[in-house]
Structure 1
Amino acid sequence: MSEESVHHIFQTEAEELLVEMEDALLALEDDPTNQELVNSLFRAMHTIKGAAGVFNFNHITEFTHPVETEVDLIRQGQRTVDSNLIATLLKIKDHTWALVESAVDGDGSLSNALYETGEALLQELQGERSVAPAAKANTATSSVERAPESSTSNGHSRANPIEEMFAHDFHDDDEPPESDGRMDSDQWFISLDFQADALRNGLDPASFISYLSNLGDINDIVTLTHRVPSLEKADFESCYLGFRIAFVSQASKADIEAVFEFALDDCTVSILPPHSKVATYLKQIEDLPELESLRLGDILLSIGAVTKAELERALNLQSSDENGATEERKKIGELLVEQKVIEQPVIERALKKQQKSREQSQTIRVDSNKLGQLINLVGELVTSSAAMKIVVERYHMRDADEVVAGMEHLVEEIRDHALQLRMVQIGDTFSRFRRVTRDVSNELGKKIDLVISGGESELDKTVVEKINDPLTHLVRNALDHGIELPSERLAAGKPEAGTITLNAFHDSGHIVIEVIDDGRGLDPEKIQAKAEKVGLIEPGVTLSRAEIFRLVFEPGLSTKEQASNLSGRGVGMDVVRRNIEALRGSVELDSNVGKGTHITINLPLTLAIIDGFMVGAGHERYVIPLSMVEECVEFNNGDWYEEKGQSNFINLRGEVMPFVRLRTFFQVPQRQQRQHRESLVVVRMGRHKAGFVVDQLFGEQQTVIKPLGDIFQHLKGVSGATILGTGDIALILDVQGLLTLAGNQHAHHSQAVVGSEANEHTEG
C-alpha cells in the first residue's frame, strides 16, 4: 500500500467522522444535554487529531487540539451548549475538512487564508479565554536510537523496569517473571511489534512514538532487534523492529491506543495499565448496575479496561482456534490476560457480574471501483448465460436443459447479491440537508423544520451520488421560494415554522423520492403568463394543470421577481429534470396556492442490470423494465382508436388509456405478412398508465444495461441498449418518456372532445 493510498484512507475516515460530528451538532440543538452526542463530537476531533499527528499533518493537529479541549469542557459540564456554540462548531467542522483536503491533496503547506480562518474560528470558539497553545510534538527518536547501557548474553537491550515487564520478549526460552516490575513505577507499558510490510504500507514507526509524547512522558524505550536478519538476508524495505515503552500519562487506554489506530493492521499493540488503573477498574466494576444481559467484552469496554481493537483481536484469535470442540477453546478472558491486555483480577471481578457469551460481526470497506468491476463481470455472465441457453435450444440439446436452468438460477442469485453490495440507504443523503436547512433558515430569517422519513429505503450507490445535486437544488428552492417568513405565515393562519418533508419509498421496482413543503405554493396562472412572455408557449393556448407545472422545468422560467443567491434566476430546474432523466427517472410537480408544493421523483433502483420483458415490433426487439409491466392483452386491430397524427387511446375494461404503437413510433418496416392480432403491454409508472402495442411477446429476460453513445443521447423513447444472447442489439425503452408522449396525446384528445361537445351544446 503506497503512502498516497494510506493518506486517502485517512481522508475517507476523516470525512466520515466529520459527517458524524455535523449530525451530532444538529441533534444537539434539540437535545443540548445529550452526553452521548457530546462524546461523539469529542471522538471525532480526538481521532482526527491523533491520525493527523501520525501522518505529521501538523496544521490539522494544531487546529483540532484546542477544539478538542473546548469540547472536553462541554463533556465535563464546564461549558453549556447553545445555538452560537453549535454555529461555531459547524464552521469548525467545515474548516477541519478544508485542512484535511489541503493536507492530502496539497503540497503540505498552509495557505494564509486557511491559517487566518482557523485562528479566527479558535478565537470565536474560546471567546474571552486565551488561546491554548497546541501541544508540541516531542520527538522520541533519541530514545529509540540510544545504545543500551547493558546487554544480555544474547546481545539484547535490558532496561528497568521494562526488562522485568517484558523479560520473555528478550529471551524466547525464558518464562515470564513473577514480578511485573511496576511496584515502584506507576506507568503504562506498551508493546509494539511491527510486521514486515509496515514500511511498504507507508508506516513510519518513529512517527507513532513521536506523537505518543503528546499524551504524556516516555520514561524509557527499548528497541528489540532480535528479528533483524544478517546483512546478506536482509530486505531493506521490510521492518524487523519491535519496541517496549514505559509511559506515564493520565490518558485513558482508548486514547493511547488511538495513537496507533492507523497501524493496527501492520502492528501488534499491547497496552498494560498501571496498578492505579487496575484498582480503578475493580472499583468501576463493583459500581456497575446489574449487567446480566451484557457480555464480558461489553463490561470491559464500558469501564475502559480494554479497547475495541484489543477485544476484536482476542475474539479473532479465539475464533481461529482449531484445537478441538468449542468447549476446549480458550475463553476470551484467558486470551486477554495472555496477550497482556488486562490483569487476571479484573477478569475475575467482571466474570462475577455476568456470564461470558459473545458473537463477533465484522464489516469491511471495499473500493467502489472494485464493486463496479464486479457488477460489469456479472453483467457479462448474464449475457453468456443467455447465449448458452439459445445454443442449447437451437441444437435441441435436451440433456443440457436441466444444467442450463440450474446455471440461470445461480446467475440470477449472483446478480442479486452483487447488486445488493452496492445498495445504500438514502437516509444518509437526506441527513445532509439538516445542515443546509439550518444555515439557510438563519440566513433568510425563517423558521423551518426538516422532517425525514423513509431513510431506510435502499438504492444503488451510483444513483445516490448522482441524485444529490438535484435534491439540493429542490430543497434550496423550497427554502427560498416555498416557505414564507414567520410574519407572513402567521398572517395566513399558518404555524410560524414551516415544514419541508423528505420522504422515500419503494414502488414497482423503483424508488420514489418526495420533496414536500407547506409554503406559499405556485400559481398556475403566473406560470403560464411567464411562459407566454418568454416565448415558451403561444398566447391563448389551453394547457392542463399537469402541463402548466411541467413548464417549471423548462429553461429560463422563473416567477420570482427578484433573484437571490439561492434561487430565482430561472436556471437549475431544467438541469434538475435533465439529470434525473439521465438516470432513467422522472420528476413531477404539483402545487396549491397557499398550501405548498409536492415534487415527486421516480428513479430506478440500479443502473446496471434489470429484469426485462422483451417484445417485438416489426423485425426489431425492445426491452421494457419488467417492474413496470402490469399485464399483456391481445386485441384485434379494430379495438384500437387511432387518429393519424393526433391521439391514440383504448378502452380497456372501462378504463380509457393512451397507447403508443412501437412500430409506428420507431418507424419500423412492417413484416411481409401482416399480422391479424397485436398485443397491448400495459405499463405503469407512478400514477400514470399507458399501453405499448407490439407485434410479438418474447417474455422475461435478464437485461444488462449498456449506455448509448453521445450521438444517441437525444433519441426519444430509448434509455439504453442490451446485447442479446444471439449477439443482436435490443433497445431498452424509456418508459417515462413514452408515457409522457402518450399522456400528452391523450390530454389533447380529451380537450378536443370536451371542446367539440361544448360547441355542440352551444349550437343546440
Structure 2
Amino acid sequence: MKPMDMDLQFVAEALPAFLSEAREQITAIEQLLLQLEDAPEDRELLDALFRCAHTVKGSAGIFGLDAVVDFTHHVESLLDRLRDGQLLLTPVLSTLLLRCNDQIRALVDAATQADGGNDPDGEAARQALVQQLQAAGAGPAAAPAPAPVAAAPAAPSGGCWQIGASFGAETFRNGMDPLTILRYVAGLGAVSQVQCDTAAVPTLEALDPECCHLDLRFALDTPAPASDIEAAFSFVRDDCQLQLQPPAPAPTPVHDSAPPEAAAVDIAPLASRLGELLVQDGAATADAVQAALQKQARQRGAGTPAPADDNRFIRVQADRLDAVINLLGELVIAGAGAQLLARQTKQRNLIEANTQIGRLIEEIRNGTLKLRMVPIGETFSRFRRVVRDTAAELGKDVALEIVGGDTELDKSVVERIADPLMHLVRNGLDHGLEPPAERTAAGKPAQGRLVLSACHEAGGILIRIQDDGRGIHRERVLARAWDRGIVERGVTPPDDAILQLIFEPGFSTAEKVTNLSGRGVGMDVVRRNIEALRGTVTVRSTEGAGSTIDIRLPLTLAIIDGFLIGVGSTKFIFPLDAVVEVIEQRSAALQPDSRGRACVELRGRVLPVVDLRSLYQLDGTPPPRVSVVVIQSQGRAFGVVVDALLGQHQTVIKPLSPMFRSLRGISGSSILGSGEVALIFDAASLSQLAAQPALT
C-alpha cells in the first residue's frame, strides 16, 4: 500500500511530520555510526543505533512505504547481530552501513513523489547493498529470530480470521502505536469482535503511561492471505506476539493465555486509561498517528524513559516565526518612538507607563529571539561524515575534534554558514593536511588533526577551523598573485595581507584540478557569503605547523542590545556586549593622524583609539571634553572617541544601503524612535582599523 492509497487528509496532515522525524533519525544513525568507529563495542550506542533504524522502519510501515520497510529491515537485522555481540563493527562494515543509510534517506525523500521515487538505478544499488548486508551477516551463529509468530495453517484466501496480538511493554517507547496497526489491518477487510484482556493492565495508581499492556483479540473478514496479515505487523514484530487462526466453521480461542472470564471490552473505554493509545473502533485520526511519531524522539536518550508530556516541543514553520520576528522589530521601533514622545511631554505617569511597556517589549524580544537559537554543534556534526569520506578519498588519516558545540547561534545564521564551513573544511583536508607518509617524514604524527570550535566573543560568535598541516606557503601565494595580476609584480604586501589573498576571486595554488580543488572558485565565495551575514573571515598560518581560519559572526540578524552614541549630528551604535567601559578625555589632548588613529593612557598602559570624526570626516567641532568608549574585540582592547553617550538601545538591525556598504567598520543600520538612522559598528573591523591603519 502506497501513501496515496490511504486517506488523503490523513497523509496530508501526518506525512510531513513523518518525513521530518525520519530525517532526524537518519541523521542520528549516521552520527552514531561515526561515533561507534571509535568505540565499536559501546552497547549504549549500538542499542541507540538499532532503535533509530527500528523507528524509521516502523514509522514507514504506518504509511505503507514498503520500499523503506523492506530495505531497512535488512539493515536492522545486521544491527541486531551487532548489538548482540555476534558481529564486530569494522571500518568496512561501518562504510557499508553508511551507504545503506544514504539509500534509506533517498527512499524517505522519495516518499512525496507521485511515482514513489521509482528509480531503476537506485533499486539496483539497493539490491547490491542487500546482498552485501546478507554476506556480512552470514556466519556460524544463527541470525536472531524475530518474535514468535504462530504459523498459520494453509488456508484458501478469503474468510474470517481470528487474530491475537499481544503487544510488549516497550511498544510505545520504541515509537509504535497499536492504533495505527489496527487502522492498517482494517484496510485489509472488516474488523469485528474486538476484545481486550484487561488482566495484565495495572491499577490506575500504578499505571505507567509509557508501558504498553494491550492484549487484543479480534476477527478480520478479508480475502487477503496470511502473508498480508503478517506483513501488517512486520514492523512491530519485535514487540508483538502474534497468533493467526485461519477461517474455519467453528472458530476456537486463539490466545492461550486469555482467561475464560475475560470480558469483551470496547476500545473507547481503553482510550481513557491509556491516554492517546486507542480511540473509538474505526475512528482513528491523524492526531493519534502524530502522537505516535512524536514518541520516536524519546529513543535518543539511550533507552531512558522520557516524561510523558508530549507537548514539551512544538513544531513551528520557519516563515511564521520570521514574520513574528519582523513584527517584533517594528514593535521595538514604535515603542522607542512612543517613549521619546512621552519624555517630551514631561508627564511622569505617561513616562512611567511607557517605561513599563519598554521593559515588557524587551522581555518579549529576548524570549522570541531564543526561539531561533540553536546549538551550532548540530552543524558541526555533519562534518564527521565529510571528513571521514574525504580523507579516505585523499588517502589521509584525519581526526576531527569538535569544541564548543553547545554554543548557540541564530538558526538563520546557522543555515547560511553551513556551505562556507563545508568548503573551508574540505579545503583544509585537501590543501592543508598532508598524507601520513609526508607527515611522518616531517616528524609529525601520521594522523592529522582538524579542529572545529565555536565560542561567544564580544557580542558575536567566533568559529575557528584549525589544522596541524603544512600551512600556507606565502611565497607561492605571492607568486600566484603576481601571475594573475592581483598584486603588482615586485610589490610585497605584509604577511597577513598575503594570506588574505587566498580569498581573492579566481585565486588557487592547486597544481592540478581535482574533484575538490584547483578550479579557482570557492574561497572568494566563502568570504562573500560570510560578509553577507555581517561577518568577517581571517586566516593565520605557520609554514609546517598548520593554519587557522577565524570566522566572526553576529549572534542574530534581527535585534541586539546596543549602546547608542553621538558624534556631531550623526548617531552610531555599538553592540553592547563589546563595550567594556567609558573614560573621559580632553579633546585637545588627542592628536589623531589622517586616518583618525591616536593613543591614550589607560591605567598605565597605552590604548589605541579611533576618532570617528576624523575617520569618517564628519562635520562639526568637537566639544572640550569627549568620551572614549573602550571596546573588546579579537582578544584586544581599543577605544573609540565620541561626543555624546546616549545610553542602551534596543537595536533592530536593518541592511545597509549600497551607499554605505564600502564603509569600513560598519556592519548594519537601525531606525531610532525619532525616525533617524543610526549606523551599527562592526567591532572586529574597527579593531583592525585601530591596530593596522595602513591597510585599506
RCO higher in structure (CA 8 A, sep ≥6): 2
Distance 1:313 1:358, change over 3 A: farther
SS in 1 for 2:313: coil
Match of 1:35 in 2: 43
Match of 2:248 in 1: none
Give, in angstroms, the shift of residue 532 of structure 1: 2.6
Give, in angstroms, the shift of residue 500 of structure 1: 0.8
SS in 1 for 2:692: helix
One-letter code of the match for 2:456? H
In 2, the alpha carbon distance for the partners of 1:73 and 1:728 equals 68
Give, in angstroms, the shift of residue 210 of structure 1: 7.2
User: Is contact 2:164-2:217 (8 Å) kept?
Assistant: no
**RMSD between aligned alpha carbons?**
4.0
Give, in angstroms, the shift of residue 703 of structure 1: 0.6
Q: How does 1:91-110 map to 2 (within 5 A)?
A: 91-105=99-113, 107-110=115-118
Match of 1:406 in 2: 356
Structure 2 residue corresponding to 1:222, chosen from 181, 184, 192: 192
User: Is contact 2:470-2:545 (8 Å) kept?
Assistant: yes
Distance 1:688 1:710, change over 3 A: same
Match of 2:537 in 1: 587
SS in 2 for 1:745: coil
Please state if 1:85 is matched with 2:116.
no
User: Is contact 1:20-1:40 (8 Å) kept?
Assistant: no
Give, in angstroms, the shift of residue 396 of structure 1: 0.4
Q: How does 1:280-291 map to 2 (within 5 A)?
A: none
Match of 1:58 in 2: 66
Please state if 1:650 is matched with 2:616.
no
User: Is contact 1:519-1:597 (8 Å) kept?
Assistant: yes
For normalisation by structure 1, the TM-score amounts to: 0.68
Give, in angstroms, the shift of residue 501 of structure 1: 1.1
In 2, the alpha carbon distance for the partners of 1:595 and 1:717 equals 32
Match of 2:246 in 1: none
Task: Identify the range of structure 1 (63-72 vs 514-523) with the bigger mean alpha-carbon deviation.
Answer: 63-72
In 2, the alpha carbon distance for the partners of 1:81 and 1:389 equals 65
Q: How does 1:346-745 map to 2 (within 5 A)?
A: 362-644=312-594, 648-653=597-602, 655-670=605-620, 675-708=623-656, 713-714=661-662, 716-745=664-693
Give, in angstroms, the shift of residue 617 of structure 1: 2.6
State the aligned residue count: 581
Match of 2:301 in 1: none
One-letter code of the match for 1:694? V
Task: Identify the range of structure 1 (596-605 vs 654-663) with the bigger mean alpha-carbon deviation.
Answer: 654-663
In 1, the alpha carbon distance for the partners of 2:31 and 2:523 equals 28
In 2, the alpha carbon distance for the partners of 1:652 and 1:541 equals 36
Q: Deviations over 1:299-344 (max 9, x none)?
A: xxxxxxxxxxx99985899xxxxxxxxxxxxxxxxxxxxxxxxxxx
User: Is contact 1:658-1:745 (8 Å) kept?
Assistant: no
Give, in angstroms, the shift of residue 53 of structure 1: 2.9
Task: Identify the range of structure 1 (404-413 vs 739-748) with the bigger mean alpha-carbon deviation.
Answer: 739-748
In 2, the alpha carbon distance for the partners of 1:482 and 1:34 equals 33
In 1, the alpha carbon distance for the partners of 2:577 and 2:308 equals 39
Distance 1:92 1:212, change over 3 A: farther
Give, in angstroms, the shift of residue 434 of structure 1: 1.0
User: Is contact 2:568-2:619 (8 Å) kept?
Assistant: yes
Give, in angstroms, the shift of residue 674 of structure 1: 5.9
One-letter code of the match for 2:166? W
In 2, the alpha carbon distance for the partners of 1:403 and 1:223 equals 67
Match of 2:34 in 1: 26
In 1, the alpha carbon distance for the partners of 2:488 and 2:107 equals 54
Q: Structure 1 segments of 4 or more deviating over 6 A?
A: 247-254, 256-259, 310-313
In 2, the alpha carbon distance for the partners of 1:492 and 1:189 equals 62
User: Is contact 1:315-1:360 (8 Å) kept?
Assistant: no
Distance 1:649 1:526, change over 3 A: farther
In 2, the alpha carbon distance for the partners of 1:622 and 1:422 equals 27
SS in 1 for 2:640: strand
User: Is contact 2:600-2:609 (8 Å) kept?
Assistant: no
Q: Deviations over 1:148-169 (max 9, x none)?
A: xxxxxxxxxxx998xxxxxxxx
In 2, the alpha carbon distance for the partners of 1:540 and 1:691 equals 36
Q: How does 1:297-316 map to 2 (within 5 A)?
A: none
What stretches of structure 2 of length at least 5 have no aligned partner?
1-8, 147-157, 169-177, 195-215, 221-228, 241-253, 260-269, 278-305
Structure 1 residue corresponding to 2:132, chosen from 124, 136, 147: 124
What stretches of structure 1 of length at least 5 have no aligned partner?
136-145, 148-158, 162-184, 191-204, 225-242, 260-272, 279-309, 318-356, 749-764
Q: Deviations over 1:122-158 (max 9, x none)?
A: 223223889x9xx9xxxxxxxxxx99xxxxxxxxxxx
One-letter code of the match for 1:16? E
Match of 1:15 in 2: 23
One-letter code of the match for 1:700? Q
Distance 1:311 1:541, change over 3 A: farther
Give, in angstroms, the shift of residue 536 of structure 1: 2.1
For normalisation by structure 2, the TM-score amounts to: 0.74
Give, in angstroms, the shift of residue 15 of structure 1: 0.9
User: Is contact 2:579-2:630 (8 Å) kept?
Assistant: yes
Q: Deviations over 1:196-219 (max 9, x none)?
A: xxxxxxxxx9985475599xxx99
One-letter code of the match for 1:648? R
Distance 1:51 1:622, change over 3 A: same
Sequence identity percentage: 42
Give, in angstroms, the shift of residue 22 of structure 1: 0.3
User: Is contact 2:93-2:136 (8 Å) kept?
Assistant: no
In 1, the alpha carbon distance for the partners of 2:321 and 2:611 equals 39
User: Is contact 2:634-2:684 (8 Å) kept?
Assistant: no
Q: Which has the larger radius of gyration?
A: 1
In 1, the alpha carbon distance for the partners of 2:427 and 2:520 equals 11
Please state if 1:114 is matched with 2:115.
no
In 2, the alpha carbon distance for the partners of 1:577 and 1:380 equals 31
User: Is contact 2:460-2:552 (8 Å) kept?
Assistant: yes
In 2, the alpha carbon distance for the partners of 1:677 and 1:491 equals 63
In 1, the alpha carbon distance for the partners of 2:238 and 2:468 equals 50
